[in-house]
Amino acid sequence: MALNNTYDARPQQETAVGAGVQLLLLALLGMAIGMGPAGWLTGLAFAFATWAVLARALHRSCLRTFGPANRVTLGRATLVGGVTALVADSFESAPPVTLLVGLTAVALLLDGVDGKVARRTGTSTALGARFDMEVDAFLILVLSVYVAMQLGPWVLLIGGMRYAFLAAARLAPWLNAPLPPSFARKTVAAVQGIALLLAGAELLPHLANLAVVTVALGSLLWSFGRDVRWLWRTSRTPVEAPVTAELLELAAR
């Protein structure tokens, strides 16, 4: 029993270290830009929520080690926490765009790293995949909030679509069925972050930013629509019961 407790403590300790690094990043941002109460409170709430949810998930999964891939994802989550604090602070004062874009760009660039690390080290887990997905989804949500202040509230559809899908799945359980791997789905998901980052950087004219985000939203609607249609058709397809050796023997008689 003591050995199990020792193994269980290691991942929990790493989540605590991650929360500490998140607080350090917030402190650095606070000193650099004079972050206001909204940014501080939102950043602290993100740090605490990430630590609490991840610690609980680790306890339930009984992982003995946190794993190198999860460390990369935790680093990305730390950057996302910084972006979240900056976006919240933007409601009170305009944050340095270069700082926000820089943190976001690094978080997006690291998106594919954790998956590669997991495959190369043989440490892929369901928890790691879910952790990676949730970090991606929350970053897109935060970026959509930031860009919505420039282009309009319709941009929130990009960040809120996955959460709306999860809410719908509670009412329609057939939406919870696993989807087949899809390169198109991964590409569309990556496009959302790039489009929102480009629009948030304000490097292009307003109409160009509007067009970029509109195309991103259109591709996301197509991707979700295709997946929902596949899940619907699959749920309506009768599943044939497996024919056992005993049934075959009886049929032969």
What are 118-131's pLDDT values in tens digits? 788 877 888 888 88
Residues 142-154 have a mean pLDDT of 96
Tens digit of pLDDT for each residue in 191-227?
Answer: 999 999 999 998 899 999 999 999 999 999 999 999 9
Comparing CA positions, the residue from 203, 26, 156, 11 lying closest to residue 103 is 26
Residue 4 banded pLDDT, cuts 50, 70, 90: very low
CB 73 within 8 A of CB 128: yes
At CB < 8 A and 24+ separation, what contacts does 160-164 make?
161/220, 161/221, 161/224, 162/137, 163/137
> Using CA atoms in the order 58, 63, 69, 72, what is the torsion angle rounded to 10 degrees?
30
Higher pLDDT, 252 or 154: 154
- Whether the model clears a pTM of 0.75, i.e. scores above it, the answer is yes
Computed over every residue of the chain, the mean pLDDT equals 86
Q: Is the predicted pLDDT of residue 247 greater than 50, yes or no?
A: no
Residues 26-45 have a mean pLDDT of 92
C-alpha distances (whole Å) from 199 to each of 124, 171, 186 are: 34, 34, 20
Q: Is the predicted pLDDT of residue 2 greater than 60, yes or no?
A: no
Q: Is the predicted pLDDT of residue 162 greater than 70, yes or no?
A: yes
Q: Is the predicted pLDDT of residue 170 greater than 50, yes or no?
A: yes
Please tell me the predicted confidence (pLDDT) of residue 239.
Answer: 52
